[in-house]
Amino acid sequence: MYEHRSRPPIPTHQFVRRLLRHVGLVAGVVAGSLAIGMVGYVALAGFTWVDAFLNASMLLGGMGPVGDLPNDASKIFAGVYALYSGLVFIVSAGVLLAPVVHRILHKLHADKR
């Protein structure tokens, strides 16, 4: 996917395209994760779609749930979803930073050919 260290760094316009592909991938994962959380809150906690959006987005953003959860199933879902959200956050940060870090390291080692 990335160029080998023996090859020169890609031009800036190709790098921007690569970065936008990564942003698109992360946006898709976050949107899908938000949808999963919203459906879970609506189905298990009986929240409205707006309240489900608020709770799911707060957990995905690392802030924590907002409302009280009415039953054990919704509490278990919220706990599992919180753990999942933490992993999504870490993976998303890695996917967004990967092309930038690769380019920096590639530029630092470009003169060592």
In a domain, residue 106? The reply is yes
The model's pLDDT over 46-90, given as tens digits with 9 standing for 90+, comes to 999 999 999 999 999 888 888 889 999 999 999 999 999 999 999
In a domain, residue 73? The reply is yes
The H-assigned helical ranges of the chain are: 12-40, 49-60, 72-109
In a domain, residue 98? The reply is yes
- How crowded is residue 47: how many other Cβ atoms within 10 Å of its Cβ? 22
Confidence of residue 107 (pLDDT cuts 50, 70, 90): confident
CA 19 – CA 25 distance, rounded (Å): 10
In a domain, residue 102? The reply is yes
DSSP 71: S
CA 26 – CA 20 distance, rounded (Å): 10
Domain count, the chain: 1
Residue with tokens 């998303």: 92
Instruction: CATH number of the domain at 37, please.
Output: 1.10.287
In a domain, residue 9? The reply is no
Q: Is the pLDDT of residue 33 over 70?
A: yes
Q: What is the model's pTM?
A: 0.84
Range(s) of the domain holding residue 38: 23-112
